[in-house]
Amino acid sequence: MKKRYFAYALLLLVAAACGGPTESVERKTDNLLLTAEGPLYDGSNTATYTWPVDLSSLLGEGYTASDIAKARITGIRITAVNPDNLSLVSDITLLLAGSGVAMQKVGFLNPLPADANSIELVLAQDQNKIEAFFALKEITLVADLNLTQELEDNLELHAQLTFNFDLKSK
C-alpha cells in the first residue's frame, strides 16, 4: 500500500514540476539585414547580423525570457537586397549564436535554385533550447555562404524568421 502512495506522490510531483499550461503563438521578425563585407571570394564566406533582443516588440509588453517555455523556428525566408547577388550563392547555412549559448544550425539550402531572389531554407530538425537565446541581450545570425565567383561589393541578404513560442500562462 505504501508503494502505491509513493508512486502517486511521485507522479504528482513530476506533473507539478512540468509547469502549468502554455499558450502557443507564432511571430515573425522584421527583415534582418545580414551583411558579408566585400571583397568576397569564390568559396566559403560569412554574412552576419547582430539582432538586439526586444521581447516587447516580438511578443508584446510585459513578456520576459522566463515567460517562454519553448521556442522553435518554423520558417526562414532569405531575400537578396540586390537580386543578382543570390545567383552567386551556391548554398547557405544559417546559425544562431550568442554569448554563453552554444551556436546552433537552424536552416540550410543546398543547392539554391537558379535565378531565385527569395528562398525558404530547410529547417534543422534538431533545435535545442532556442528559447535560451531570448534571455540574451543580442543574438547573432551567421549565414555561411558558398559563392560561385568573386564579388568586390558587400553581399546583403534579408532574413525573416518565423518563430513558434510556447508562452507560460500569466
Question: Model's pTM, two decimal places?
Answer: 0.86
Beta-ladder partners of 53: none
Residue 8: per-residue pLDDT: 47
CA torsion through residues 102, 106, 112, 118, sign: negative
Residue (of 32, 30, 114, 122) closest to 76 by Cα position: 122
Residue 18: per-residue pLDDT: 52
Residue 48: per-residue pLDDT: 98
Which residues of the chain fall short of a pLDDT of 50? 5, 7-17
CA distance 9 to 47: 53
- Write down how long the chain is: 170
Q: Rounded to the nearest 10 degrees, how much is the dihedral formed by the CA atoms of 82, 85, 87, 93?
A: -110
Residue 35: per-residue pLDDT: 98
Residue 2: per-residue pLDDT: 54
Residue 15: per-residue pLDDT: 42
The residue ranges of DSSP E strands in the chain, in sequence order, are 22-28, 32-36, 43-52, 68-80, 89-98, 101-109, 118-120, 122-123, 138-147, 155-168
Residue 19: per-residue pLDDT: 56
Q: Could you report the per-residue pLDDT of 4-49, keeping only the tens digit for each?
A: 545 444 444 444 445 568 999 999 999 999 999 999 999 999 999 9
Q: Which residue has the cell 560561385?
A: 148
What is the set of domains in the chain, with CATH numbers?
21-168 (2.60.120)
* Cell (9 digits) for 46: 560569412
